[in-house]
Chains A and B, each alone.
Chain A
Amino acid sequence: MASFIQLLVSGLATGAIYALIAVGFTLLWQTSQTINFAQGEFVMLPAFFVLAAMNLGAPFWLAALAGVVLSVIVLGLLFKLIIVDPMLKYGVLPLVISTIALSLFLKESAKDFYSSQAQPFPALVPPTDIHILGATISTQSLLVLAVAIITVGALHVLLNKTRLGRSMQATAQNPTLARILGIPVQRMVLYTFLINAVLVAIASILVSPIYLAKFTNGETLGLAAFTAAIIGGFNQVRGAILGGVILGVLDNLSAAYLSSQYRGAFPLLILVAVILLRPQGLLGRVEERTV
């Protein structure tokens, strides 16, 4: 039982990180039909921004802030202006190819310009353990959970309780109508890109103390984010959260109780099952098809 609680908590923490990444992923899809195959690399990169800032002598908090800001500029603004905007008119596929190339570009850049070795990354809290009901739970996991919940909560308030957020939702649901109502659609789309950049930067700072900062981190994280987004529902923020949490918990439990060799396979089997049985995802809406 104690080990089950341990696995559950660490699974929830992993799932919370997946959820943050997946939420950003679905936001981009909803507002601009961008399927960002580089989302995993987007999570890998901010950690290197932070490390680079620390190499310049900045204290950790300042470096983390610089990492978030740089990430907003590079992965939010520049990504939209340079990669996405010129290609939207060609439809979904060229953009998919381009983001695949971008993921390669970012990965190789981090490797060649920083290091091919895994870099230690400062932990946000001293790594001590707390004992609850006989289970050992690391403060790391609790912090990850807390930050993720606060972030998602803040995003929820932004999207549902503010005028800006409702304008963004209108843009996602019906861009033409939103434009008629006087909503600056292009600016709303840009905001979702910026929000995505903030989310991946937060995820990066949370995940790097655990996984170390390595140029290949994006491969597993990106795959997990796609899987989470599809399981939960591609077009729903709360679907992505649910998907992320399911995935994180399942990953930890199946590795412990079923087979550690095939731990990577279980999420994929669920992914295939969801796509076949409920392609819109557990919480998703059916999207209309155009002829």
Chain B
Amino acid sequence: MKRFGTAAAAIGAVFAVALPFFLKPFGIYVISMWAVLTIAAIGLNLTLGYAGQVSLAQGAFVGIGAYTVTVLMQAGWPFAAAFIAAGVLCFAVGWILGYPALRVQHHYLAFVTLAFTTLVFLVLRNEEWLTNGVYGINGIPRPVLLGWPTGKALNFYFFSLGMLTVLSLAAWWMLRSPWGRAFIALRENPIRAQSLGLDTRRYTLMAFAIGSSLGGLAGALYAPLVQFIEPNSFGLGMSFNLLLMVIVGGSGYFFGPFVGALVAVLLPEWMRIAEGYYLIVYAALVMAMMAFCPSGILGFAERAFKSASRGSQPAPALRAEGAGP
């Protein structure tokens, strides 16, 4: 299974690099969007899939990141500095939002984060002096990095892909470290984790803050990609979408967000013939998946793979359910 997973990831990587050369600019835009949303979904997967905290606020963090980078660049900051500032700001806000998570669990937390998303939306809409209100901000420039302009669709795609690679390697490293193990312990049995001496308070806040900062960094790429931001883009719809991406791909699987974001980005394009009906089909697919295989596409693949190779090799014992390929 492990070797199979590595092979699949390698094939995916080759595809990600080669694919844009065969696409028109709009196709490149779509896969750039995939790269950007995957970053946000990786962040949510840390919070939800590994630490087990249900958050409906990831869309709001993408929004905070997008507005931060735009406003700071308008104020004359270089992109790199604005990008880091977006991550830091979302880390701080995520840390604060994590405090309710210490007191309440599961569905209550879903509602607190839902309220947070709505509040962020109201601020973005009403504080016109900062965000230009409902009109949004137009003509956001794409950055020039060390003399390399990312204005062209292809260049920006490779920039996004590069950021995705760097950030997902960082997430991978973190999940292999004691921190990542602590996150999983937190999800599996918080009380046991505490009795083993883990500082559950700190790790819960950390899971929130790191997940949120990845959302902010995704937003900081979203703004120059779309070159137009408005409050409506970052409402509850975006948060629900990101949540569905993580779940559809397979929450708690490292590559779940990659797969989930791909489905969410490609499905509307494939189903262009069906016009508005694609959302109906998408929603129906998600419901069917929840009924038959709540562990997502990768969970389904793992199960199929295991039942195909049963007998030839012993199943890896003692691995936490869904701890990644």
Contact = CB atoms under 8 A, between A and B. Distances in A.
Contact of A272 (B115, B240, B290): B115
Interface stretch (A51-59, A125-133, A260-268): A260-268
Interface in A86-141: 86-87, 90, 92-98, 100-102, 104-105, 108-109, 111-112
Interface stretch (B33-41, B158-166, B225-233, B273-281): B273-281
Interface residues of B, number: 39
A150 B291 CA distance: 38
Contacts, number: 109
Interface stretch (B74-82, B101-109, B264-272, B304-312): B101-109
A108 B283 contact: yes
B179 interface: no
Nearest to B251: A93
A1 interface: no
A100 B240 contact: yes
B interface, over-half SS: helix
B111 A83 contact: no
A92 B292 CA distance: 15
Contact of B276 (A101, A108, A261, A275): A108
B111 A275 contact: yes
Nearest to B247: A97
B104 A279 contact: yes
Most chain-B Cβ atoms within 10 A of its Cβ — which of A94, A101, A219, A291? A101
Nearest to A111: B276
A223 interface: yes
A262 B100 contact: no
A35 interface: yes
A226 interface: yes
Contacts of A262: 122, 126
Interface in B231-263: 236, 240, 243-244, 247
Interface in A244-263: 261-262
B291 A105 contact: no
Interface string B96-129: 0001100110111011101110110010001000
The 7 closest A-B pairs by CB, nearest first: A105-B283, A101-B286, A94-B294, A268-B115, A98-B290, A104-B283, A86-B291
Given A87-B290, A97-B247, A230-B108, 6 more contacts: A83-B287, A92-B106, A98-B287, A108-B276, A262-B122, A276-B104
11 contacts: A87-B291, A94-B290, A97-B286, A97-B290, A100-B240, A101-B284, A108-B280, A265-B122, A268-B115, A271-B111, A275-B112
